[in-house]
Amino acid sequence: MSNVEGSLITLDRFLRDLDAHAEEDDPFARIPWSNWAKVAETNYSAVPGGKKPGKVPQELLENSSAAIVSEHLLSNSAFHDNIGALVTVVIETAIASLGAYEEQKNRLGVMDFVDQEIRALDLLRTNARVRASIASRYRLLAVDEFQDSSPIQLAIFMELAELVDEVIWVGDRKQAIYGFRGADPELMNEVFAALIDGTTVLGSATSENPGASWRSTEAPLELSNALFSQVFSDQKEDEVILSIPPQREHLRSIGSRELWVPNTDKGKDNASNSRIAKVIAEGVADFLKRSPQLPDGEVSQGDIAVLMRTNSQVASVVNELRARGIRAVGSTSDLLSTREGQFVAAGLAAVVDPDDSVALAELVTLMPDHHSHHTWFDDTARITDKEERRAHPQEWWNDAALIALSELAVNAAHHSSVEVLLPIIDALDLPQRIKAWTNPEARLATLDALCQIAGEYEDAAKQTRLPVTPAGLLDHLSEAATAYEQTSAHDAVLVTTIHQSKGLQWPVVIVGIPMAKDYGHREVNVEKAPVFDARHPLANRSLRYLPGVLKDYSPLKERLGELNVVRHAGEAEERETARLIYVALTRAECHSIMAFGDPTGRRNVLSSAIDDGLLKWDLPQIADGSLRAVDQSGSLQIADRRQSTGNDTGSSRDLPIRIIAFPLDADDTGTGVHVPVAPSFYASTDIPTGRPTNASPRPPARFTASGVDSEGIDAEVTILADLGEPLVEKGGKDWDRIGDAVHAYLGLPLAVLPAEALHSAAKRILSRWDAEGVLSAEMLIEVGRRWTEWIDTTFPGAEVVTESPIAWRNDAGQVMEGWIDARIVLPTGEHVLVDHKSYPGADPIGHIRENYLGQLRVYGQSLESATGRVTAQTVVHLPLLGKVVAVLAAEPAGQNSNHM
């Protein structure tokens, strides 16, 4: 009776929900399609207080409402209209977004990775100079990981291949694992075949099969040979099977292969990912205890790599390992959520802006030695006057604990980012504080990582020519440090994804082979061209979008499954999974271990992709569920898929392997293996606190030439040449932009570009710098014409090198990095140093004397030290005034020259 009542409650609630969507003129119009799917499949989930309808009501429903709805649902015209509208809106949104993205890139003058590829391909196809330059410079093209090329990359390689004498393609089609990001393994298969058959424009190729593994010893090699000769049963056996070369014969017998499983499937499919992570962590602890051997001694934690399919599996393995006291790296972590990270971030924020009261409050809370540590909140809250309360945090700066930091705050802007981070760490006494906290080594590593990120920020800023500032660093840290991936640590197990393991190898490799999961059909599909044309890689391809609606409705699933495009995508995905596991299981040098989340490997991704019967084994005898069970001489049965059809199917080959079943509740029962953590060496070192900061401020570590003062430098500045009438009358707002446009144009190889290219470049530059209001393309072209003509007549036979990067360290140890606008290299090898200035005013000589002598001297000194030769002459080109000015130092600047 209670069952009937429960079913009624559930069904009643369902009906009431339907009614809630009803509208007067059309009661069904707003009912979600998923509700109809529920009716069609009698899939009513229990509501609070109710039950899932039982057998009797189910039968009744199946023959009534379910039968009616399921008959009409998929052919319902309103359903079709809805899906049609959805497809249209998605495609139109995609087109509009791509257009907006393109516009935004153009506005910013930036390109993304694909733009680089497309433009490179375009240059290779259309630009004779580019082709000639590559043809004259390179003889050999070598392409590694060829199987992972995208169609555009392939087209680029084909163009390059035509320009060189010899091409070597290195690839392994068993290792194509980038289908998801645009590589097309099937296509590459065809290209391989076409190259070997000689049916491409490139003539014919010879192929070589390495046949030997210089990586693995016998135990791992036999495992991958036996397994993958069956997985890739459609390829010739000699393309799959590798042997040990004679040179490695002495290493043959070192190593082992193992199979690790949980001894229970408790939690069923949903818990399989957590079971596999636990199995691996238990397995590693157990493995290390058994003192396994490598050619040069015993395995240590740092010799082990664990390869997982997804990032979240990586994270759970790292957690499980760490929970067992095993050092592990691999997953991303938030450095700023650690105590030392909070210290650094708050310290930096306070240095960047000493009025940042949030940062100050954070520091006070973090520092037990700050006099306001316990009272700051109450103190602040007690103040009633708003202004007074706002000013109050400034007093916190006066505490002894923050003195060193406050000194830093005064001249932080002078320092590069790493140079500001280290003193902050010191000023906060972090090395000393950390000693008293848990896990000091790991915390030191956090500080190192933060410095590393600061260094990366600096490099990136330099490449994009953006200024490096403490505020910029703070911004960067709050992004990069929150998802930091530690890739190396002393003697730690590396946990990473299989995709990342490509091309790498480790002495011990553990591969987590997860359970297959049904993600439904692939929604976005690329339909290939019927015939691939390497010169037009994207021709005749089309997109098919199949929205993921009613994903759980089986009749729809079945119907979609009948579509060729869905079937092909599913098969392609399975083949890629097999290749992914191949990559993983060929990374081991000596010890190769497969781990599964289910005791019998039920529904693992490899078997699911190939053949449900691919892998079988007998579980070792499990006497007590809380103990690990081992079968030293277990056997892995691998289905024989190479026998000719018609023979008895189902035969298999046996491969000896050690099989271990691990209990998973080890933590609760206390039988878990715990690797003891060594006492911290760092904690017992003696680091003084409150070290005095440098009393006398040092000069900034870096400087820019344009920031160097001209005062006190004497030079003779004279008009050297008049190139023509001034092109502008006076300057204006945002003149920097005008200067940038002129510089950009003069940076082009003006002497060799045809008139048409100069014209379009001039127009593009003006529009990019928004300089069309002041300059015209004709004016820029005139600037260029006058300049090249002057060089030609004044320095016949000279070569002009534009935008030379230059770096120089002065006597005070300060580093300058910058660009020299142009060097005119005379036939004698001497240099004329050129700086373009877009000064539009009436007193060029006075302006140069006042503003640029310092900068020109630095450029002169750095050029002399880079070339080892005296600079022949220093000139300032004033393109908008139509003048060239010579600058001659009144006193020697470099060691032996009186030029700038």
Ligand X SMILES: Nc1ncnc2c1ncn2[C@@H]1O[C@H](COP(=O)(O)OP(=O)(O)OP(=O)(O)O)[C@@H](O)[C@H]1O
Residues near ligand X (CB under 6 A) are: 172, 175, 214-215, 503, 505, 586
Q: What's the min distance (Å) between Cβ of 216 and ligand X?
A: 9
Contacts of 88 (CB under 8 A, 6+ apart): none
**188: nearest Cα among 159, 153, 163, 160:** 153
Residue 85 CB neighbours (<10 A): 10
Contacts of 736 (CB under 8 A, 6+ apart): none
- CB closer to ligand X, 144 vs 197: 144
Q: What's the min distance (Å) between Cβ of 44 and ligand X?
A: 52
Q: In whole angstroms, give the CA distance from residue 223 to residue 225.
A: 6
- CB closer to ligand X, 13 vs 215: 215
Q: In whole angstroms, give the CA distance from residue 285 to residue 377.
A: 47
Q: In whole angstroms, give the CA distance from residue 381 to residue 867.
A: 65
Q: In whole angstroms, give the CA distance from residue 661 to residue 164.
A: 56
- CB closer to ligand X, 578 vs 800: 578
- CB closer to ligand X, 522 vs 579: 579
Q: What's the min distance (Å) between Cβ of 248 and ligand X?
A: 8
- CB closer to ligand X, 316 vs 501: 501
Q: In whole angstroms, give the CA distance from residue 759 to residue 258.
A: 69
- CB closer to ligand X, 138 vs 214: 214
Q: What's the min distance (Å) between Cβ of 213 and ligand X?
A: 7
Q: What's the min distance (Å) between Cβ of 499 and ligand X?
A: 13
- CB closer to ligand X, 420 vs 588: 588
Rg of the chain, C-alpha, whole Å: 36
Q: String of b and e for 837-875 (b: at least 16 CB within 10 Å)?
A: bbbbeeebeebbbeebbbbbbbbbbbbbeeeeebbbbbb
**280: nearest Cα among 317, 309, 312:** 317
Q: What's the min distance (Å) between Cβ of 245 and ligand X?
A: 7
**292: nearest Cα among 619, 588, 615, 602:** 588
Are 671 and 638 contacting, i.e. CB atoms less than 8 angstroms apart? no
Q: What's the min distance (Å) between Cβ of 503 and ligand X?
A: 4
- CB closer to ligand X, 503 vs 892: 503
Q: In whole angstroms, give the CA distance from residue 291 to residue 299.
A: 7
Calculate ∠ Cα 214-169-530, nearest 5°: 125
**622: nearest Cα among 654, 593, 659:** 659
Q: 526: which strand partners? A: 543
- CB closer to ligand X, 582 vs 617: 582
Q: What's the min distance (Å) between Cβ of 214 and ligand X?
A: 3
- CB closer to ligand X, 505 vs 851: 505
Helix residue ranges per DSSP H, 586-677: 605-610, 666-669
For the record, the structure tokens of 530 come out as 């019927």
Q: What's the min distance (Å) between Cβ of 33 and ligand X?
A: 48
Backbone angles phi, psi at 437, to 5 degrees: -90, 170
- CB closer to ligand X, 27 vs 503: 503
Q: What's the min distance (Å) between Cβ of 215 and ligand X?
A: 4
Phi/psi zone of residue 737: left (φ > 0), alpha (ψ -120 to 50 degrees), beta? Answer: alpha
- CB closer to ligand X, 503 vs 520: 503
- CB closer to ligand X, 177 vs 304: 177
Which contacts (CB < 8 Å, 24+ apart) does range 371-378 have? 371/399, 371/401, 372/396, 372/399
- Cβ-closest position to ligand X: 214
Q: What's the min distance (Å) between Cβ of 176 and ligand X?
A: 11
Residue type, 402: L
For the record, the structure tokens of 458 come out as 């600096």
**745: nearest Cα among 719, 775, 773:** 775
Q: In whole angstroms, give the CA distance from residue 664 to residue 682.
A: 35
Q: What's the min distance (Å) between Cβ of 307 and ligand X?
A: 13
Are 340 and 443 contacting, i.e. CB atoms less than 8 angstroms apart? yes
- CB closer to ligand X, 43 vs 505: 505
**What's the number of CA atoms in the CB half-sphere (13 Å) around residue 327?**
18
Q: In whole angstroms, give the CA distance from residue 45 to residue 37.
A: 13
DSSP code for 770:
T
Q: In whole angstroms, give the CA distance from residue 375 to residue 367.
A: 12
Q: What's the min distance (Å) between Cβ of 221 and ligand X?
A: 12
- CB closer to ligand X, 149 vs 586: 586
Q: What's the min distance (Å) between Cβ of 172 and ligand X?
A: 5
Are 10 and 47 contacting, i.e. CB atoms less than 8 angstroms apart? yes
Q: What's the min distance (Å) between Cβ of 175 and ligand X?
A: 6
Q: What's the min distance (Å) between Cβ of 302 and ligand X?
A: 17
- CB closer to ligand X, 251 vs 560: 251
Dihedral sign computed on CA atoms, order 135, 141, 147, 150: negative
